[in-house]
Chains A and B, each alone.
Chain A
Amino acid sequence: MFVKQISVFIENTPGRLAEVTQILAANNIDLVSLSIADTTNFGILRGIVAEPEKTAALLSEHGYTVKLTDVLAVYVPDKPGGLAQILTMLSNERIALEYLYSFVRNANDFALIIFRVDQPQAARTLLTQAGVKLLTQRDIAAL
């Protein structure tokens, strides 16, 4: 139950990011969630879309350097301690977290958060056994 995240290299030149979003718009692709990691020299756009493989191919055709990564899309209880509980579980099992960011939509009492961990299988098993709800790629498409 992994979700595929697209990451796109964004050169630090004006207009590059705008161009990426224009390509998605022109192809009717909705960004369910996104995050941008920035450094002095470049940025990485990380995004969740309904059809990641197609989107990756589309951006590659336009000359962008793209990668697909397995991430966990997690329903996190939207109350104090909701995130802490999940992070503690991961840390107790020595599962390292690379980064996380939240969805632009939420579902009632839940926040939707994308987790990138260093041991995706182990994390998935751990969270599912603990009763934490994860989304599938199909769930994303239906959002």
Chain B
Amino acid sequence: MEHIIWNPTMECMPREQLRTLQDERLRDVVRRVYENVPFYRNKMQERGITPMDIRGVCDIELLPFTEKQDLRDHYPFGLFAVPQSEIVRIHASSGTTGKPTVVGYTGGDIDRWSELMARSMYCAGIGKADIVQVAYGYGLFTGGLGAHYGAERIGATVVPISGGNTVRQLMLLQDFGATALCCTPSYALNLAEALEAQGVKQTKLKSGIFGAEPWTQAMRERIEAMLGIDAINIYGLSEVMGPGVSVECLCKQGMHIWEDHFLPEIIGDDNRGLPYGERGDLTFTTLTKHGMPLLRYRTHDLCELTSEPCACGRTHVCMSRVMGRTDDMLIIRGVNVFPSQVEHALLQVEGIVPQYQIVIERQGNLDTMEVQVELSPDFMSDTVRDIEALENRIVSAIAAHALVSATVKLCQPGTLPRSEGKAKRVLDKRQM
């Protein structure tokens, strides 16, 4: 198998040299945040450390962690390390109500992001001659624009179709002869099934870069079989950059993390770093971002890093698929949902007991979320209207606090499962 590498100097850099580069860049980002971001300066001062104390990667554990809550606490622009006039792009996390997590990019950040997405395109075997259909959503979400800039950087023909309107997608996919597809794995499956329903045996597609939600090997095999393509996994999160933090090469043995730009750590339950091969919380320090650099950002995605060299020749460390979450966050229709927020929502509504269960299923290719909640013995009405009004109040509370639209099923008191310790609140029936 031939592996064409976009930036061999960086991507195949010997590990010792890579480490020296990381040491230098870590010292630089620590200095920049210390000088420009009050949040980080305070945190470091609390620990009694200054940028001079960080010699390199060996001193990473001296630095504080960053959590999503820190971004929320400093909404919208409190963690930016440059004046707003230097920020050329804002992106935000998904979710249609409430305050999102905000990220800011300088021109340099956009340029580096494009570079990393260009590398990612080449990892998937996509090149200048390809026609790339970008069916990730364009907008505040990082997916669409991220893929777009990468495909454009390599000189491919970009079709910025964004998400939705499957009928049109299929028509243009065939008319334009797209050779590469970028979208979520569940949408890829949607398209594959729609093509099959149309009786289309073969398209010009050769590869796809899929991410923004977890998916299994089984799902990959299905997509590859149905579309006749290489289905490549891509990983990222807007806080750290967007898609392209890591990506699989055609070896499909793990996703290369671009270590010249991101320093990964696997953090264990005791908040200490774990060695390669052990599963823990994937944590990133951004080495080259200027707009909103982050130190030791806890993704709460569970995975392992491997020290196995990759046959493609790239030396950057590989991460496994994301195996789950360290917290209870769910991804439903692309939106991050925390069961604790659902619980918080339920506590706002009178007439129910906050004994609840969240049942998540996949109907067709779309996630559904049903919140089963017990009616309070004290609340009852003889009219349907009153009970339906209660259901609607619950739906509204969940939309307001958990930022997701769910259906509600009222249940008899005492019927939902109880447990001794932490109640199992979520029944995820999806098989991804």
Q: How far is the CA of A98 from the CA of B411 in the complex (A)?
A: 24
Residue of B at shortest CB range from A42? B410
User: Is there contact, CB below 8 Å, between B375 and A9?
Assistant: yes
Q: How far is the CA of A64 from the CA of B383 in the complex (A)?
A: 16
Known A-B contacts A41-B391, A42-B387; the reply to A64 vs B382 at CB < 8 A is no
Interface size for chain A: under 10, 10 to 19, 20 to 34, or 35 or more residues? 20 to 34
Known A-B contacts A9-B387, A42-B387; the reply to A66 vs B412 at CB < 8 A is no
**A39 at the binding interface (Cβ < 8 Å):** yes
Residue with the greatest number of chain B CB neighbours at <10 A, chosen from A9, A12, A39: A9
- In A9-28, which residues have CB < 8 Å from any B CB? 9, 11-12, 16
User: Is there contact, CB below 8 Å, between A37 and B384?
Assistant: yes
Known A-B contacts A9-B375, A41-B391; the reply to A64 vs B412 at CB < 8 A is yes
Residue of B at shortest CB range from A67? B380
Known A-B contacts A11-B415, A39-B388, A42-B387; the reply to A60 vs B381 at CB < 8 A is no
Q: Taking chain B's interface residues, is the majority helix, strand, or loop, or is none over half, making it mixed?
A: loop
Q: Taking chain A's interface residues, is the majority helix, strand, or loop, or is none over half, making it mixed?
A: strand
1/0 per position for B365-398, CB-CB distance to A under 8 A? 0000000000111011111100110010000000
Chain B positions within 8 Å of A12 at CB level: 409
User: Is there contact, CB below 8 Å, between A116 and B411?
Assistant: no
Known A-B contacts A41-B391, A44-B382, A46-B382; the reply to A63 vs B410 at CB < 8 A is no
User: Is there contact, CB below 8 Å, between B415 and A69?
Assistant: no
- Closest beta carbon of chain A to B189's beta carbon, Å: 29
Chain B residues with a Cβ closer than 8 Å to the other chain, count = 20
**A88 at the binding interface (Cβ < 8 Å):** no
Number of A-B contacts (CB under 8 A): 55
User: Is there contact, CB below 8 Å, between A63 and B415?
Assistant: yes
User: Is there contact, CB below 8 Å, between A63 and B414?
Assistant: yes
User: Is there contact, CB below 8 Å, between A41 and B415?
Assistant: no
User: Is there contact, CB below 8 Å, between B415 and A65?
Assistant: no
- Closest beta carbon of chain B to A117's beta carbon, Å: 12
Chain B positions within 8 Å of A69 at CB level: 382
User: Is there contact, CB below 8 Å, between A7 and B412?
Assistant: no
- Closest beta carbon of chain B to A85's beta carbon, Å: 25
Q: How far is the CA of A39 from the CA of B391 in the complex (A)?
A: 12
Chain B positions within 8 Å of A64 at CB level: 412
Enumerate chain A interface residues (CB-CB to B < 8 A): 5, 7, 9, 11-12, 16, 37, 39, 41-42, 44, 46, 60, 63-67, 69, 98-99, 116
What are the 3 closest A-B residue pairs judged by CB atoms, nearest first? A67-B380, A7-B382, A69-B382
21 sample A-B contacts, Cβ–Cβ < 8 Å, listed by A number: A5-B382, A7-B382, A9-B375, A9-B412, A11-B410, A11-B415, A16-B412, A37-B384, A39-B384, A39-B387, A41-B391, A42-B410, A44-B382, A63-B412, A63-B413, A63-B414, A64-B412, A65-B375, A65-B412, A67-B380, A69-B382
